[in-house]
Amino acid sequence: MDFDEYRKVLQPSALKAGKPASWDGIKAKCIAYRNEWLENAKEKSEGKNYPKQLNEYAVAQGINKILYTVTLENGKVAIYDPERGYYQKDYKYAYKIIHVLQPTFNETKARNVLFLLSSMDRKFQYNGIHCDFEPEYRNNRRFILVKNGIYDKEKCELLPFDYKFINFSTIETKLVPNAPLPIIDGWDIESWLLDLMSGDKELVKLLWQVVSASLNGNYSYRKSIWLIGNGNDGKGTFQQMVSNLIGLRNVAQLKLNQFSERFGLAIIEGKTVIIGDDVQAGIYVDESSNFNSVVTGEPVNIEKKGENPYMAVFKKTVIQSTNAMPVFKNKSNGTYRRIIIIPFRKTFSDKEDNWRIKDDYINREEVLQYVLWKAINLKFDKFYEPKATQERMREFKEENNTIMKFLNEFLEEAISTRIPVKYLWVIYQGWCKSNNVTLPKKSNFDKELENCLPDGWVKERQKPLEFFKPVSDKPDYYYDGMFNWTDEEKKKTAVLIRKVT
pLDDT tens for 486-498 read 889 999 999 999 9
Q: What are phi and psi of 79, to 5 degrees?
A: -115, 135
Q: What single-letter DSSP state applies at residue 331? A: -
Taking every pair of Cα atoms in the chain, the longest distance, rounded to a whole number of angstroms, is 109
Q: What pLDDT, on the 0 to 100 scale, is given for residue 484?
A: 85
Measured distance CA(364)–CA(12) in Å, rounded: 42
Task: Please tell me whether the overall predicted TM-score, pTM, comes out greater than 0.85 for this model.
Answer: yes
Please, what's the b/e burial string for 273-296 (b: 16 or more CB within 10 A of its CB; e: otherwise)? bbbbbebeeeeebeebebbbbbbb
Please, what's the b/e burial string for 347-361 (b: 16 or more CB within 10 A of its CB; e: otherwise)? eeeeeeeeeebbeeb
Sheet with 457-462, strands from edge to edge, namely 418-420, 494-499, 457-462
Q: What pLDDT, on the 0 to 100 scale, is given for residue 2?
A: 42
Q: What are phi and psi of 312, to 5 degrees?
A: -150, 155
Report CA dihedral (445, 448, 449, 455) to the nearest 10 degrees. -150
Whether 278 and 321 have beta carbons less than 8 Å apart is answered as yes
Measured distance CA(251)–CA(171) in Å, rounded: 9
Whether 100 and 79 have beta carbons less than 8 Å apart is answered as no
184, β-bridge pairs: 187
3-state secondary structure 184-225: ECCECHHHHHHHHCCCCHHHHHHHHHHHHHHCCCECCCCCEE
H/E run at residue 79: strand 77-81
Closest CA to 265 of 245, 238, 287: 287
Q: What are phi and psi of 287, to 5 degrees?
A: -130, 115
DSSP alpha helix (H) spans, 16-84: 23-44, 56-66
Measured distance CA(95)–CA(488) in Å, rounded: 81
Separation of CA 409 from chain center? 35
Q: What pLDDT, on the 0 to 100 scale, is given for residue 17?
A: 60
Whether 31 and 10 have beta carbons less than 8 Å apart is answered as yes
DSSP three-state, residue 401: coil
Whether 236 and 323 have beta carbons less than 8 Å apart is answered as no
Low-confidence spans in the chain with pLDDT less than 50? 1-16
Single-letter amino acid code for the residue at 462? Q
Domains of the chain listed by start with CATH number? 4-131 (no CATH), 189-394 (3.40.50.300), 401-499 (no CATH)
Q: Collect all residues with Cβ–Cβ distance below 8 Å to 299 and sequence separation of at least 6.
A: 293, 311, 312, 313
pLDDT tens for 385-432 read 999 999 999 999 999 999 999 999 999 999 999 999 999 999 999 999
CA 403, 258, 344, 385 torsion: positive or negative? positive
Whether 99 and 62 have beta carbons less than 8 Å apart is answered as no
Helical packing angle, 23-44 and 56-66, nearest 10°: 130
DSSP alpha helix (H) spans, 4-138: 4-7, 12-15, 23-44, 56-66, 91-101, 107-118
